């Protein structure tokens, strides 16, 4: 896949999967514009990209705010003109009902995880090149949950639905797909001295016998962005090592379920 001189816009690009996305697209010749509210990490990543010979633009701001989105798009367009890819990666969690996630906090997560991707798509629509692609980073948590995750889960469910809605609306203009990561170990893209330390069971519960790496998501994003795969539209690609397809019951695979409140 070739990305030379393509313009790639990424939200939440300072750390984690976003940092890996920015660095890999830049490494393959794309011009990367990313936004993040972590100014220190964003500037650090910008320097890492440029020191490796890549071209990038970093915009500091909170994408929950409309003006941040407008200002970011204005800077992207004034710098690069047209855009080829929009990768809506940014999201966060504010907990859920068991931790009394507030009205404001719940809506803040939705603003970052659903409203911002919609509005960026709207603002960038006049500036997309032919063959452009939007890739939304959803999550397997859109389909299954742990307790007290309502804010994040709702946002990921929302962006999953937004994906097929945008694909229908933008048919013939921009392809829109999503990726739902499972367990991805982003430690190395937060701390360069990071060393993984997993229990063997963490690996074995994945049918591929390992935990995901940010590059697993990056390669999937690039696959969906590539015009060679232009017949793929409105889809949600699950990248989780098969974990969500593995059914395990109590007493199966040496696993036992011991709920804390079973005797109460």
Q: In this structure, is the dihedral angle defined by the CA atoms of residues 25, 87, 81 and 65, taken in order, positive or negative?
A: negative
Count of beta carbons in the 10 Å neighbourhood of residue 120: 23
Of residues 33, 25, 19, 32, the one with CA closest to residue 3: 25
How is residue 119 written in tokens? Answer: 């509005």
Q: How many CB atoms lie within 10 A of CB 240?
A: 20
Active site residue 257: no
Active-site residue, selected from the candidate residues 85, 108, 152, 189: 152
- Chain centroid offset of residue 17 CA: 7
If we measure between CA atoms, which residue out of 60, 63, 1 comes closest to residue 220?
1
Residues forming the active site = 152
């Amino acid at each position: 896949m070739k990305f030379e001189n393509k313009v790639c816009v990424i939200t939440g690009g300072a750390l984690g999967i976003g940092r890996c996305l920015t660095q890999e697209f830049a490494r393959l010749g794309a011009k990367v514009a990313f936004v993040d509210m972590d100014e220190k990490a964003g500037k650090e990543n910008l320097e890492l990209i440029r020191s490796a010979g890549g071209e990038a633009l970093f915009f500091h701001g909170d994408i929950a705010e409309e003006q941040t989105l407008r200002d970011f798009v204005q800077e992207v367009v004034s710098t690069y003109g047209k855009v080829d890819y929009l990768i809506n990666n940014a999201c966060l969690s504010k907990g859920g009902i068991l931790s009394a996630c507030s009205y404001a906090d719940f809506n803040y997560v939705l603003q970052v995880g659903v409203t911002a991707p919609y509005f960026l798509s709207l603002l960038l629509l006049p500036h997309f090149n032919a063959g452009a692609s939007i890739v939304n980073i959803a999550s397997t948590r859109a389909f299954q949950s742990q307790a007290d995750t309502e804010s994040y889960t709702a946002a990921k469910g929302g962006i999953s639905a937004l994906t097929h809605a945008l694909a229908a609306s933008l048919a013939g203009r921009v392809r829109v797909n999503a990726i739902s990561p499972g367990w991805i170990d982003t430690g190395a893209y937060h701390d360069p001295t990071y060393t993984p330390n997993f229990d063997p069971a963490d690996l074995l519960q994945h049918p591929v016998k390992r935990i995901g790496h940010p590059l697993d998501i990056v390669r999937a994003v690039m696959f969906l962005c590539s015009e060679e795969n232009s017949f793929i539209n409105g889809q949600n690609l699950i990248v989780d090592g098969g974990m969500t397809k593995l059914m395990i019951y109590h007493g199966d695979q040496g696993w036992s379920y011991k709920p804390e409140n079973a005797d109460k």
